[in-house]
Every structure is written in C-alpha cells, then in structure tokens.
Structure 1
C-alpha cells in the first residue's frame, strides 16, 4: 500500500510525538494527530526521526584499495597517498571500480545514508573512474542520490592536460567542478586552477567542490581566493571548500577578517574529521595540530559546515565503514563542540548541512510536499542519539523501507544485569 501513516515519531526539536502521512512516496502531512482512513499504520515507538544522512565527500573510486600491491602509505601523509594512488591506478577497469564502490554504497546505505557526493579522479586519459561513477549514479538512483565531482587528483596543471580532462568530465555529465590547488607545482598554478574552476562552473552551470588547502602550511591560502571569486560571481551557495585544514592553523587576525567574507559569500565547508586527524600534523612533534578546519567557529558564525567520511580503506585512510555517526562522534570531540546545546544541534552536521552543501534543500527534509525520505534512529531524542552513537533501525526512501532492523535481544544470565 502506497499510503502510510507512521505514528509515534519523535522529530528533532519537537517535544510532542508526531504522525507522518505519506502517499506515493511524498510527505502529505506531519502533525500530532492525522485522520487518514485506508492506510497502513506503522508504529515508530517514540524513536527519533531524521532526514537521511548525507555523505557529501567520499572517493568511491578509491575504496578498498589500501591493501593493493604498492598502495601502502608508509608516512601516512596526504602527498604519499596521492603518489601511491598514481603508481597503482593504471590497471583499473570500470567493472572493478563499480564492484568496489557498490560494496561501499551498501555500507553507507546500511548506516542511513541516502545522499552521496563522490569525487571521480579524471587525471586519466581514459576517464575510467568517471565512467564507472556515471554508470553507478544511474543504476542506483532509486536507492541513493549520487553527485559526481570531476576531480583532478594529480593536479589540474601538475598533470599534463588535467584542465582539459576536468572539462571533459563536465561534458560527460559530472555535477561539480573539482580541483586541488595546494598540490599544484607552484602557488601561481594553484591560483590559476582556482580561476579555471570558477570559469568552468560558470561556463557549464555546475557546482564547485574544491579540495582546498588540505595542508598544515599556513601560507596555503587558496580558500581566500576561491571565496573572493565566487562572492564576486554570486555563486557562493553553489560552492564548497573541502578540508581547508590550513585555515585551522591560520592566526586569528587573518581568520577574523576572512570569516566576514565567508559569511557574505555563503560558501559551504566540508570537514573530514577521521581522515584529516590521521593525515595532518605529520610534520609536527608537539604541540601537534589536529588537522581540522575551524569547524566550531564556522558553526557558531552561521556558515554552513558539514562532516563527511572521505575514505574507506584506501591509500589515504586505512579504516572507515560509511558510518557517519562515527565520523560525527570523532568530529565533535576534535572540534570541542560538546556543550549540551552543541550536542543537541550537531546532528545537523551529517544531515541538513550536508544537504545544503549538495544544494538539495528543495527536495530534502521532513516537510509536506517533499519526497518521503527519512531514517529512524534507535534513540528517543537527540542527546541520546549522539551519546549512545545510536544505530539506524530503519531507512525509508520515497515512502518505502530500504531496510528495517529487528530489535536487538539479549539472553541475560546474571541477576545484576536483569
């Protein structure tokens, strides 16, 4: 039956339990009491309901390559990760990439993710990764929404013909223009790449997502240039700066000035807590930097910032399983965002803020008229969800269950535990 009424739903920041009516995959009504005969009744038992998790930054073409021959990253640095990938990617095929990516997508779906933005490495004349991601986007569209970034992993200019390959990726259907200015051979080429990224976005009317200043070098300031250009062009809300680790090392005077311009542009930020705390600070002894951008300050200033998985067992990061609650848990610890107010709000970092980054706000959220996509957490409120790292007990897409988990049961032997 397409018409369903979900009862006893706990919505974020709403004290009274709600009822949710869906029909033909769309939210029809959300209120404490709904009169709706002839519909299937589903009791959510007072559990917390959220819009689906959003992973706005992952490399699906890289997943599960960490143990590949020659891919081991001995220094644990970003730059060795790029070198190892460059040395081991020549034998990739579309089918092999898709097979690995499908495993990763299944993991993310099982943890409540329904929206993914993946970067596809286009520094390959055959554009193998991009072809694989384009096929995957179409084949899985009923289960998960995938956006693709045309991303020059080895540099738009450091890799010969990189700019042309990025543009070709856009012609083939990529949703976003990518770049990696801090990896170019000189600062001038990094700046040139930022100009090219913005020009390509304007030419093809695409979003922007730049690996920006993913380094501890405080002199890496491509964020400032990116923000200035998109501010002047009025496309800040369609632009994302990913990582921006050096902004976390910059002095407060510089950061204060830049923060004002970031608020003007509407630029989005993605931080990858688990990966960047692993990769960054490798040249430090003590004090040792955490590698994150200024997540707390961005959050407090009303600048859109979200968290992402980034990697699942690849040359940059040996762990990862697509569980954004684990990413959130690490992130709020590292960023010291653990006041009770921050804990109650922090689920935005893996839900609505990521949707805003992906420009999904017209089709995302638990509101009448929008697609009936949501997840059910094994928790009664926001604080319990975060403190208990709550599991996702069900995921609903277009009004239908992607999955629902049976309650966990224990056979108690000890009287104290009863």
Structure 2
C-alpha cells in the first residue's frame, strides 16, 4: 500500500510524504516539497483495502494515538453512580459503595464500549487503571481486573491494552496481601495506586515499590491529586525510585498540588522528579472538572505545571482519565480533544506548540508505556490515524471526526461525516461509522 501526499507533522509540518507499507510494515517514507499527482484520491467513505495506492491530498497522518491513563472499568457508569458535589471525595465514596452491584457482563460491556470509542478516534494503545479494593467481597474485588484482562485478550487484534490495578491505599492485613498476590499472578502489566489518599502515604508507597520489585513490574501512580500545596508525596516517590534503582520505570499522574505550591518549592519538586527520571501524565479534562471546588473568587484550573515540567525535559503525556462516570461526567475517549484541552490549560496554542501537543498524545505516551516498533518509522509495524485536515491549525480548531485508523496490518476503523443542508438553511452534520473492517 502507498499513501501519497500525506502530512506527518511530527517529522515536518510543511512537507508532503510518500508512505509505503508492505505486509503491515513501513518500508519507505520519502519526503517531497510539492504534491505528486496522478493517483486515486483517498476517500474515507469508500471501503478501504489494505492494498492499493491513494492520494491523501495533504491530509494529516499521525502515529496511532496512545492513551496512557484511562479507567475502563469505571467508564460510562454515570447512569448508576452520580456525584452531586462534583468532588473527588464523593466520586470515590459513591463508586466504592455502588461497584459491588455491577455484573461481569456490565463491566465488560462498558470496557469494550470505551475501547471501541477510543479506537475510532485513533487510539491504538491504552493503559487502564483498575480498582482493586480488597475491602469488598471477593467477586466485586476481582471483577474489574478479570473483565479487563478478558477484554484485553478479545480485543488484541484491534487495540493494545495495558492493565495497571490500583493497590489499596490502607494498611494491609493477611487477607489483603493474599488477594494482592493472587491478582498480580494473573498477568497484569504494572502496578498502580493513589498513595496520597492514604493515612500512611509513605508506607503505602513502600508497599507498592516492594510488590513492583518482587514481580518486576513498572509503576504508575495517581500522585497528589489535591488542591493543597502541602501534599507532596511526589518527593517520597522520587526518593524511593532512586533508592530502589527504579529510574525510568515510574510514572506519576495528575500532580495537581504541584500547581498550588509556591513556585520555588514547585521547581525543587520538578528538579527532584528529573533526578529520579520520573515520567508524568497530565489529565486536563478530569482535573479541570474536579479541582478547585473549594475555591472562592478565582477558581484554579486544577491541572499541573505543564510548562515547567516540559521545560525540565521530563516526558509529559496528556491522557483521557475518566469517561462518563462520577469522576468526570463528560468525554468521548478522543485524545485529540484532550490535546486541545491541554493547549488551553498549558497556554500551548502557538505555531511551535501544536507539534508538541501532538507528541503528548503519540510518541511521549508510547515512551511512557514502553511501546516500540509501532508507528510511522521505517521498519516499524505501520500504526497510524489519518484525519480529514491539512494543517495542525485546522486539526486543533475543528477536531474533525472524519478519521481512518490503520494497524495490525489492515484498516481497523473509519469514521466520516457528511455535511447536509436542512430546509431551514442550517448546517446539519451526520456521522457514519464502520469501527471494524
């Protein structure tokens, strides 16, 4: 297969590329300064074969998007679990209370619904955090992990899913340890948690690192998701990372209290993160919704110090977090939308910022997730999404829903919109989708 005249802004936002794929692998990638004519025009609405040559007419192609922080088990649970105050505390309480009422079938159906939504928007890899609350009865405790592992297997020919169960944030007894060890033996991909919520956060961090070392698993932590500038468990996470030689294997997410800190302290924290080789993820949608609930007058955005973290060369991705649940009632599993929100909160709207936003949903999260060999480089498994847009300015302004996703050696999904004019003269948009080809 050849695609002529594609724009690949992670390489060069102005050039045109000729992308050639054989047996699902990228075999050549040639750069041109002018469009090359003479080929059949690529159409999102026609059935796409894995063989052929098409003129993309300057449309943007990006490596498959990677969502490095989701909660597939909680997604689309808002119908059952509300949150009247809109606070993180109520969301945690309400979900913990209601979750035993879900069935296996319900949880798996919601997991797959969100995974398919992510795929149609261009996401080809997901890291999902899964609740593992050992205070619940056994069936409820293991349900999320079991269902997402089953879904991971069932969807393996469409999308790559990493499973990071969240270890409890309280002191463990014999029953808790038995269940944790049994869960870790199921074949999960890493260990998660939220130690800043613990009454003994340092002890909880010690437990997480001990299990990670014993099972040789990477760590990905909800960290300091708080408006309180005194909350700084990130410092102990960094120290523990260095102490255990876990540099490059620890990711810290949210970091909301970092934004609330006095700047000199915040910079000292970021420098410590850099020393420990931590990687980071910002979750702008959920944190703009959850944080600042007690603020009067000027309400804080809730997101972390995006600019300063990037300035210190710390890998920083943007991710979806929660989708339609008590933690975040909105969202559609669209990383392009998340990148746009990152642009808003991080003041990243300039011409040189837009390629960086693209990296925050493609190459950087793949680095964090340890994904290699899948993308748009020669010798890699071709994994990409084509958008119906010809410039990054157009891409971020319009968030076009017309997209086609390629991976696993074939076209995986295509979505297109048709513009129609109603009798009253208003524009009406209709969407057609074929998520599986």
Distance 1:83 1:414 in 2: 48
Q: 2:262 aligns with which of 251, 269, 272?
A: 251
Distance 2:96 2:424 in 1: 55
8 Å contact kept, 1:112–1:392? no
Q: Secondary structure at the match of 1:90?
A: helix
Deviation at 1:410, TM superposition (A): 4.1
Q: Give deviations 1:16-71, integer Å, cap 9, x for gaps.
A: 3111111121111111389xxxx621322211110011111111111111121xx2
Q: 1:284 aligns with which of 276, 292, 295?
A: 295
Name the CA shift for 1:391/1:296 in 2 (closer, same or farther; >3 Å): farther
Match of 1:11 in 2: 8
Deviation at 1:406, TM superposition (A): 4.5
Distance 2:176 2:349 in 1: 42
8 Å contact kept, 2:234–2:269? no
Name the CA shift for 1:160/1:387 in 2 (closer, same or farther; >3 Å): farther
Distance 1:74 1:283 in 2: 14
Q: Confirm or deny that 1:50 pairs with 2:62.
A: yes
Match of 1:63 in 2: 75
Name the CA shift for 1:283/1:373 in 2 (closer, same or farther; >3 Å): same
Q: 1:238 aligns with which of 236, 245, 249?
A: 249
Deviation at 1:214, TM superposition (A): 0.8
Distance 2:254 2:302 in 1: 9
Match of 1:22 in 2: 21
Distance 1:159 1:104 in 2: 35
Q: Confirm or deny that 1:315 pairs with 2:326.
A: yes
Q: Secondary structure at the match of 2:27?
A: strand
Distance 2:209 2:90 in 1: 28
Q: Secondary structure at the match of 1:284?
A: coil
Q: Give deviations 1:120-160, integer Å, cap 9, x for gaps.
A: 111143311100011011110110000001113x5243899
Deviation at 1:335, TM superposition (A): 2.0
Distance 1:25 1:183 in 2: 45
Q: 1:134 aligns with which of 136, 149, 152?
A: 149
8 Å contact kept, 2:19–2:29? yes
Deviation at 1:389, TM superposition (A): 2.1
Deviation at 1:251, TM superposition (A): 1.3
Distance 2:424 2:100 in 1: 57
Aligned residue pairs, count: 404
Which range is displaced more, 106-115 or 228-237? 228-237
* 1:7-406 map, 5 Å: 7-12=4-9, 13-14=11-12, 15-32=14-31, 40-68=52-80, 71-123=81-133, 124=136, 125-126=138-139, 127-152=142-167, 155-157=169-171, 161-162=175-176, 164-184=178-198, 186=199, 189-360=200-371, 362-406=372-416
In structure 2, list runs of 5 or more residues that go unmatched.
37-50, 428-437
Name the CA shift for 1:412/1:135 in 2 (closer, same or farther; >3 Å): closer
In structure 1, list runs of 5 or more residues that go unmatched.
none
Q: Secondary structure at the match of 1:19?
A: strand
8 Å contact kept, 2:76–2:325? yes
Distance 1:267 1:284 in 2: 30
Distance 1:151 1:115 in 2: 19
Task: Answer 1 or 2: which has greater strand percent.
Answer: 2
